[in-house]
Homo-oligomer: A and B are copies of this chain.
Amino acid sequence: MKIDVTKHLTMGAKRTLKAFRVAMFELLREKDFDKITVNDICQKGEYPRATFYNYFDDKLDLLKYLWSYIAKDILSQLPDDKQNDANLIKIFNLLVQFFHENTALLANIKQSNGADSHLWHNLAGYLKHEANRIVYQNCSIDSKPSIPAKLLSRFYSDLIIGMLEWCLFEEPNIQLKIADEYLLKLLHNDL
């Protein structure tokens, strides 16, 4: 990334980022990441190439930005009240819902999974990072001294993303209710 998206951005910069984000998101429904060219992105986003390179090093750079944005965006729907099991389930369900709503994207990601599975692992990394951040924020409130909070939140987010991966790739037709039950059992070591 050629700019720092955490700093204050002008309206124009936000607009431009959004346009490229949306363009990439739409293109990922339509074709393989490898088949997407910078020209495709610019055409879809209605920006010239020069502008693309003002913001991103290359299309992979944009992809990473998109993943991190999506991760934040999905989980921003969480109420930021105190931590409990219900919230972990909520995080899991938000993630499941996202892929349920974006089946074309998921299909594309799955397909690319054959080669080196870089699309999924890339995205999953950002999802896990964001989930971890949110779990940790809430975790630290009701800090249980028996386990370091960082370790605990990492355990939780790993569990959530693992569960997500299993649902999406191994049991795509599983009922969400059942999945929630499994997740709760794993959380409570109730096997």
Spell out A's residues near B (CB within 8 Å): 11, 14-15, 46-48
Contact = CB atoms under 8 A, between A and B. Distances in A.
A135 B14 CA distance: 44
Query: Copies per complex?
Result: 2
A15 B46 CA distance: 7
A48 B46 CA distance: 19
Nearest to A46: B15
Contacts of A47: 11, 15
Contact of A14 (B14, B15, B46): B46
A101 to B, nearest CB: 23
6 contacts: A11-B46, A11-B47, A11-B48, A14-B46, A15-B46, A15-B47
A48 B12 CA distance: 9
Nearest to A14: B46
A103 to B, nearest CB: 28
Contacts of A15: 46-47
A15 B45 CA distance: 10
A46 B11 CA distance: 7
A17 to B, nearest CB: 12
Pick the 5 closest A-B CB pairs, nearest first.
Answer: A15-B46, A11-B48, A11-B46, A11-B47, A14-B46
